[in-house]
Structure 1
Amino acid sequence: MAKNEINLQIITPTRKVFDEMVEMVVLKTVEGEVGVLYDHEPVVVMLNYGIIRYKKNNEKKQATTMGGFAEITKDKVIILTDASELEGEVDVERAKKAKERAEGYKNKPDMDQKRAELALQKSLIRLKMNN
């Protein structure tokens, strides 16, 4: 472990998306963004749907998180989320189709509006990461 690096783990119910040493992490929480560097005060935060940013080897990178929690300790950030993709993993065509479907569902009174809104939010986050 290099000095002043932290271990970032992103875990979903189906896979471990990421488990590497990084220089910093910026999380999108329900209360706003939280920056994390080595020797951070221990805390657990609730994550919002969004894009987290991290720096590895002086290179800025991103990953999506679809809600969940992050446990932050002095030298580790563990993210537990429903779904996550790293840069380059997002299927843009699939995300565009999901966005179109969700937008169509939002205007139908017999559809679950909350579910349609969440589906739309997820697709928009995936598309935003690829812009």
Structure 2
Amino acid sequence: MSTNTFSLEILASDKQFFSGRATNIILPVPDGTVGILAHHENMIIAVVPGTVSFDTKEGEHRECVVSAGFAEVINNRVRVMTLTAERPEDIDIVRAREAEERAKEQLRQKMSLQEYHLSKASLARAMSRLSAASKLRDRN
């Protein structure tokens, strides 16, 4: 086991997205992004909707679009736990655009504070999915 890697697990509510060794990971957090390398100090941090990128021990660069959750860094192990995690190439752009429009419409209507926050979260997720899918399409 290489000393410049760490154990990485990315979990969504319905599946294990990734489990293996990684050399780095970049997470979307409330005030931007945070990068984690091997032997990072222990911490727990909130994760916001956006793109997680990481490099595997084999040198493969991987990305996934996540919803809100948190990451735990303990003893050279990183565990990311979110409601959803998906590969950019698996995103249905039409459905993501429809979800974005629904969320925007809900935000225009009067609602309770809880409904407002749910709509804001739905909009953030739809926008991060569209962004990741568009970047992938532009690369290909």
Q: TM-score, normalised by structure 2?
A: 0.81
Q: How does 1:75-114 map to 2 (within 5 A)?
A: 75-109=76-110, 112-114=115-117
Do 1:70 and 1:78's aligned partners in 2 also have CA atoms closer than 8 Å? Answer: yes
Distance (whole Å) between structure 2 residues aligned to residue 110 and residue 46 of structure 1:
26
SS in 1 for 2:129: helix
Question: Per residue, is there more helix in 1 or in 2?
Answer: 2
Identity percentage of aligned residues = 24
Do 1:17 and 1:84's aligned partners in 2 also have CA atoms closer than 8 Å? Answer: yes
Do 2:11 and 2:81's aligned partners in 1 also have CA atoms closer than 8 Å? Answer: yes
> Which residue of the partner structure matches residue 74 of structure 2?
73
SS in 1 for 2:13: coil
> Which residue of the partner structure matches residue 46 of structure 2?
46
Q: Deviations along 1:32-87, whole A, 9 cap, x unmatched?
A: 32211111111111212221111133343211221211111343210111111123
Q: How many residue pairs align between the two structures? A: 131
Q: Deviations along 1:102-124, whole A, 9 cap, x unmatched?
A: 12222222583332222111100
SS in 2 for 1:121: helix
Shift of 1:24: 0.7
Do 2:88 and 2:129's aligned partners in 1 also have CA atoms closer than 8 Å? Answer: no
Do 1:38 and 1:74's aligned partners in 2 also have CA atoms closer than 8 Å? Answer: no
5+ residue gaps, structure 1, are: none
Q: Paired residue for 1:126, among 125, 129, 133?
A: 129
